[in-house]
Structure 1
Amino acid sequence: MTSTTLDLLNQRHSVRHFTGAPVSDAHLHTILAAAQQAPTSVNGQQISLVVTRDKATIARIAEIAGGQPQVAAAEVFITVVVDFQRPMAAARLAGAESVIQDSAEGIMVGAVDAGIMLQALQTAAAALGYGSTAIGGIRRDPQAMIDLLGLPAHTFPLVGTTLGVADPEQAGQPKPRVPLASFAMAERYDLAAVQQGVSQYEDQLRQWWDAQGLTQMPSYAASCAMYYKQIYFPHIAAAFAGQGFHFKDQ
Structure 2
Amino acid sequence: MNEVIRTMQAHRSYRSYLDKQVDESQLEHIIQCVQAAPSWINGQQVSIIAVKEPERKQKLAMLCGNQKYVEEAPVFLVFCLDFYRAYLASQMEGTPFEISNNIDTLLVGATDVGIALGTAVTASESFGLGTVAIGGIRRNLEEVIEELNLPPYVLPVAGLCIGHPAEDPGLKPRLPEEAVVHEEQYQQDLLPALENYNTTYRAYLEERSKGSRSGTWTEAVANFYSKQYYQGIEEALKKQQLPHSK
TM range (shorter): over 0.9
Shift of 1:101: 4.0
Shift of 1:52: 0.4
Q: Could you say which residue in structure 2 is the equivalent of 1:62?
A: 61
Q: Could you say which residue in structure 2 is the equivalent of 1:205?
A: 201
Q: Could you say which residue in structure 1 is the equivalent of 2:33?
A: 34
Q: Deviations over 1:170-218 (max 9, x none)?
A: 21112111110111011110110x2222111111111112222353154
Residue 196 (str. 1) matches residue 192 (str. 2) = yes
Task: State the AA in 2 paired with 1:124.
Answer: A
Residue 156 (str. 1) matches residue 152 (str. 2) = no
Q: What SS does the aligned partner of 1:157 have?
A: strand
Residue 107 (str. 1) matches residue 103 (str. 2) = no
Q: Is the 8 A contact 2:99 2:243 kept in 1?
A: no
**Using the alignment, how far apart are the partners of 2:234 and 2:214 within structure 1?**
31
Q: Could you say which residue in structure 2 is the equivalent of 1:51?
A: 50
**Using the alignment, how far apart are the partners of 2:184 and 2:215 within structure 1?**
34
TM-align CA RMSD: 1.4
Moved over 3 A (4+): none
Q: Could you say which residue in structure 2 is the equivalent of 1:9?
A: 8
Task: State the AA in 2 paired with 1:198.
Answer: L
Q: Could you say which residue in structure 1 is the equivalent of 2:170?
A: 173
Q: Could you say which residue in structure 2 is the equivalent of 1:182?
A: 179
Structure 1 stretch displaced more, 135-144 or 81-90 = 81-90
Q: Between Structure 1 and Structure 2, how many residues are aligned?
A: 244
Q: What SS does the aligned partner of 1:49 have?
A: strand
Structure 1 runs not aligned, ≥5 long: none
**Using the alignment, how far apart are the partners of 1:217 and 1:157 within structure 2?**
33
Q: Could you say which residue in structure 2 is the equivalent of 1:233?
A: 230
Task: State the AA in 2 paired with 1:106.
Answer: T
Q: Could you say which residue in structure 1 is the equivalent of 2:146?
A: 147
Q: Is the 8 A contact 1:139 1:236 kept in 2?
A: yes
Match of 1:244 among 238, 241, 244: 241
**Using the alignment, how far apart are the partners of 2:135 and 2:210 within structure 1?**
23
Shift of 1:224: 1.1
Alignment of 1:79-94 (within 5 A): 79-94=78-93
Task: State the AA in 2 paired with 1:82.
Answer: L
Q: What SS does the aligned partner of 1:132 have?
A: strand
Structure 1 stretch displaced more, 180-189 or 90-99 = 90-99
Task: State the AA in 1 paired with 2:198.
Answer: E
Q: Is the 8 A contact 1:47 1:83 kept in 2?
A: yes
**Using the alignment, how far apart are the partners of 1:32 and 1:236 within structure 2?**
27
**Using the alignment, how far apart are the partners of 1:217 and 1:66 within structure 2?**
23
**Using the alignment, how far apart are the partners of 1:144 and 1:217 within structure 2?**
35
Q: What SS does the aligned partner of 1:67 have?
A: coil
Provide TM-score, normalisation by structure 1. 0.93
Task: State the AA in 1 paired with 2:222.
Answer: A
